[in-house]
Amino acid sequence: MQPPHLFVFLIYLLPLSGTWADLEGTFTIQLLWASTFQNSSFVDMEWLGLLEDIELGSVDKHMWTIHFCQPWVYQALPCRDWHTTENMMKAYLQEFNHVVHEGAMQKDTQCMAGCKIYPNRTSQAFISVGYNGLDFFSYDMDNDTWLISQDSSLSQHVLATLHNCTAFSKVVAALFKNTCVDGIEALLSYGKAALERQETPVAAVFARTASPAQLLLVCRVTGFYPRPISVAWLQDGQEVPPGPALNTSSILPNADLTYQLRSCLAVRPRDGHSYACRVSHRSLGTRSLLIPWGNAEVVLIAGLGAGLPAAVAVAAIMVLWVWRRK
């Protein structure tokens, strides 16, 4: 095993300089790598670079060439550096496969490296490696030292090898703490439009009969971007707290690069309460979507910052809904 080659390669995938884009928030760049060694002569490798959830580029495992998913990624890295990176990648993959093939049989390795930059331009770098689905070792950026996650003869051997590479460890720390931040800044400058993209959610509420004594209200929200979203159920205008009756799925991707989720609330049929699904998302600003159960109309209400007018609007909607049912 020769881990230094891996991290040197990953570092070269980062753009080397850039200027800060006029964007707010916290941003993370990740370089993901995974290898599965089926036998002594075949390896399946996957490489992927991400800025937040935007795919920056990947590696063709057959040709060992870099494919960038966004045109502005290529612009952020000078052409000569891009070709240098590609040549280094080919040399690394050939050497790495040769070394591991000597003793690997049906083993998986994974690596995640990158950094996060905060609005005040402070940053946090990270490097972690997994082996056969378990955490294997990582780099403690605060103390500039390698840490093992599982104690075994293999992990001790790797740790000793890394500790002997003191100069390399210092270079890795410096590059991920400093160069990675410059890389994000360059990507933010060129990819500002992609990072600022917003798609408004579309929501619908319907009911399913789970049993004679239970009705399942479903709020389906789809087509939104970026990923963060808030979905809540209101009972008689009051938010339903977390509990066994409330179940919200994880956020899943759509084919058009937007997201979807479902939130389900178990209630008793004809229990006399009114219910509505409330959706908050960046694309809506300070407003929210309010979708009452049993009413196809989607209402756009002011957010909590609007104070009393928002509360009055919600109350009026609930009264109108109850009146229509009577």
pLDDT digits (tens, 9 = 90+) for 202-245: 999 999 988 888 999 999 999 999 999 999 999 999 999 999 99
Dihedral angle of Cα 95, 51, 72, 18, to the nearest 10 degrees: -90
Give the residue range(s) of CATH 3.30.500.10 domains in the chain. Answer: 3-195
Q: Residue 94 contacts by C-beta under 8 Å, 6 or more apart in sequence? A: none
Structure tokens, 311 = 């509360």
Look up tokens 């600022």; give the residue. Answer: 196
What CATH homologous superfamily does 3-195 map to? Answer: MHC class I-like antigen recognition-like (3.30.500.10)
Of the listed ranges 125-134, 138-147, 296-305, 308-317, the least confidently predicted one is 308-317
On average, the pLDDT of the chain sits at: 77
Give the residue range(s) of CATH 2.60.40.10 domains in the chain. Answer: 202-325
**pTM score > 0.75 for this model?**
no
Degrees, nearest 5: CA angle 232-235-239: 40
Pick one of 2.60.40.1190, 2.60.40.10, 2.30.40.10, 3.50.50.60 as the CATH number of 202-325: 2.60.40.10
